[in-house]
A and B are shown apart, each in its own frame.
Chain A
């Protein structure tokens, strides 16, 4: 495990430690949206949506794209996929270690 990987994992989870951000990500997973269209879909003020979008952008989960005069937000899969794979790797490593402990304890 490298420092970079842990740092990325930490920043992604920090951004995801909020219910509304999961709702935003779910909406953006279905389609791109502007901040105001997100505000009509979720029971949160436009101002709060903007704050959440900033947090999601900062860790690479969401990007903004200018379409004409509108700024639309789009979900990015790479960072989330990497986070899931990193957790799976750590989990798999513990599975391996637990299997080794089992062997040691059962042969004692």
Chain B
């Protein structure tokens, strides 16, 4: 796993089939990921998540392995198809747990997004104070999210 990944896990008191439905059934997905969702649950299928007032976010399903794994490539920009350079990969894994199901989500590929030199240069001004502490915090944080 690369250092630009986000990883989060939660233990849910429900069987994997129930958790699987919560993350792949569009009506249920619309309750936690935007306000409306459409999912063609097949590899290569299209998915759309709509946030009221913020447009629609498009995705392409990359992995359907019920009830173990569900993944999609997600466009970083609204109303845009996900392609190389504008999207991250979201992957859910479901594992048996003594109290139900452990659901882990990873979002990777932030380092593959196209960069914008102007946006970058605007950020050059900085303050060296606290820099060392921030670096330590970042390292600690990255160790945390990689674990």
Contacts and interface: CB of A to CB of B under 8 A. Distances in A.
A96 B135 CA distance: 26
A90 to B, nearest CB: 5
Interface of B: 2-4, 6, 8-10, 12-14, 18-19, 21-23, 28, 31-33, 76-77, 101, 103, 105, 107, 110-116, 119-121, 123-132, 134-135, 137-138, 141, 145
Contacts of A98: 8-10, 103, 105
Q: Which of B22, B131, B138 gathers most chain A CB within 10 Å? A: B131
Give the interface size bracket for A toward B. Answer: 35 or more
A34 interface: no
A55 B137 CA distance: 22
A14 interface: yes
A4 B88 CA distance: 15
Nearest to B118: A4
B18 A7 contact: no
A104 B22 contact: yes
Nearest to B116: A7
